[in-house]
Amino acid sequence: MENGVKLISGALVTLAIATASLVVMPYLQLQDVPPTPGLKPYTEVELRGRQEYIKQGCMYCHSQQPRDPSQAPDGERGWGRPSVASDYYYDRPHLLGTMRTGPDLMNIGARQPSVDWQLGHLYQPRAYAPGSIMPAYPYLFEVKDAAEPGDKVVALPPEFAPAQGVVVATREAQDLVAYLLALDRTFPALAPLAAAPASAQ
């Protein structure tokens, strides 16, 4: 009986320490962080595209967090400044990602601002990045005999275009591209400091 009491007491103490260090302490350290100056809320179209990004599982192969130069050469790769917590103010849930099978996408909207490029890359990645292992998403597009009014036709390199007809982006594809283009955090992470008043002479 005495050993059982010691075992239960030890387990409770261990659980209490773990809860305090992994739950209570981080919670006490949380603070309200305002959005980065220049950060705008997502539009309705961008939010739909964000849902499509989640649905297609893009975060399994792409991160959204350029790292500090001391951790990785992300800046030299052209992926932008290191992320700060306020860059994710409007992101619910956060899509930081943990893998980099593909490049970091935080600033893809600045690196590849062309809608046509983004749509074509979704339809057939190897048309734009030979050797890419990214899967193609042809089911986000339709092949039609001819474009109809309001259709967004995807301009593909001739060797990747269908033999007949045109490739048209669905609303889901266009929404996804709108979200990708919204991923642009190239503005400064901190608000510029006000100039100090000139001291009297």
**Sequential DSSP letters for 60-95:** GT----PPPTTT--TTTTT--SPP-GGGGTT-SS--
Rg (CA), the chain: 24
pLDDT at 13 over 80: yes
The pLDDT value given to residue 191: 54
pLDDT at 6 over 50: yes
pLDDT-above-90 percentage for the chain: 67
pLDDT-above-70 percentage for the chain: 94
In whole angstroms, what is the distance from residue 64 CA to residue 60 CA? Answer: 11
In whole angstroms, what is the distance from residue 92 CA to residue 137 CA? Answer: 25
The pLDDT value given to residue 188: 87
Res. 200 pLDDT band, cuts 50 70 90:
very low
Instruction: Dump pLDDT digits (tens) for 118-140.
Output: 999 999 999 999 999 999 999 99
Mean pLDDT (the chain, rounded): 90
The pLDDT value given to residue 176: 98
What single letter denotes the amino acid at residue 25? M
Q: What is the dihedral of CA 5, 6, 8, 14, to 10 degrees?
A: 160
* 44-182 to CATH, choices 3.40.190.10, 1.10.3720.10, 1.10.760.10, 3.40.630.30: 1.10.760.10
Contacts of 27 (CB under 8 A, 6+ apart): none
Mean pLDDT computed over 21-46:
88
**Could you give the C-alpha distances from 47 to 77, 111, 146, 180, in angstroms and in order?**
28, 21, 30, 11
What single letter denotes the amino acid at residue 136? A
Would the pTM count as exceeding 0.85? no
Q: What is the DSSP string of 98-150?
A: S--SS---TTHHHH---HHHHHHHHH-GGGTSTT--PPP-GGGEEEESSPPTT
The pLDDT value given to residue 75: 87
pLDDT at 1 over 90: no
Residue 199 DSSP label:
P
Instruction: Dump pLDDT digits (tens) for 154-188.
Output: 999 999 999 899 999 999 999 999 999 999 999 88
pLDDT at 141 over 70: yes
* Helical pair 115-123 and 171-182, crossing angle rounded to 10 deg: 120
Res. 5 pLDDT band, cuts 50 70 90:
confident
Instruction: Dump pLDDT digits (tens) for 57-79.
Output: 999 999 999 999 999 899 898 88
